[in-house]
């Protein structure tokens, strides 16, 4: 059965690397000397996947950072992920309700509907909190298209 991320079951594990540069045997094995993309310090670099491998699988969307910059970025990523999850509290409640009441089969399609419902709740909440008209996003996009036509 396909999961919500589009993959069948667990993805095959990538072979473990020998080192990540700090000698503990964890990581992706990139431990070459170079210049950090953030602080420009010459040191051993760590490859950071901008798109998390645990979510999107193996990918080439990477940046090379020193250990300090990489760790700082990972802390920021964890903060962001927690904020995103908090925005979707509605989804957790909806899934729990549907699970407990057994009204529909909780397949991936149903869970996706819950997620879209969560997006609508977030949009409604943001729109109300800053007093925007309900279709503000559509009007903004139409305005951008109109401006492009004027420029041409």
Would the pLDDT of 53 be above 50? Answer: yes
Would the pLDDT of 145 be above 70? Answer: no
* Within a domain: 35: yes
Q: Which two tokens stand for residue 140?
A: 């903004």
pLDDT tens-place string over residues 75-119: 999 998 998 888 888 888 888 998 999 866 788 888 898 888 888
* Within a domain: 1: no
- Model pLDDT, residue 56: 87
Q: Into how many domains does the chain fold?
A: 2
Q: Reduced to 3 states, what is the DSSP secondary structure of residue 66?
A: strand
State whether 80 and 53 are in the same domain.
yes
* Within a domain: 128: yes
Non-local (6+) Cβ contacts of 35 within 8 A are 41, 42, 45
- Model pLDDT, residue 39: 96
State whether 32 and 80 are in the same domain.
yes
* Within a domain: 145: yes
Domain that holds residue 134: 104-151
> Has this prediction a pTM greater than 0.85?
no
State whether 80 and 108 are in the same domain.
no
- Model pLDDT, residue 68: 95
């Amino acid at each position: 059965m396909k999961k919500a991320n589009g993959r069948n079951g667990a993805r095959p594990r990538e072979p473990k690397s020998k080192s990540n540069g700090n000698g503990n045997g964890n990581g992706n094995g990139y431990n070459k000397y170079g210049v950090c993309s953030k602080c420009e310090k010459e040191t051993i670099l760590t490859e950071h996947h901008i798109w998390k491998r645990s979510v999107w699988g193996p990918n080439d969307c990477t940046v090379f950072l020193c250990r300090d910059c990489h760790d700082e970025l990972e802390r920021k990523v964890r903060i962001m992920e927690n904020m995103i999850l908090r925005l979707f509290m509605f989804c957790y409640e909806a899934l729990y309700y549907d699970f407990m009441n057994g009204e529909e089969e909780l397949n991936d399609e149903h869970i996706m509907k819950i997620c879209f419902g969560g997006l609508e709740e977030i949009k409604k909440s943001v729109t109300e909190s800053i007093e925007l008209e309900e279709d503000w996003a559509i009007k903004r996009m139409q305005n951008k298209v109109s401006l492009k036509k004027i420029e041409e």
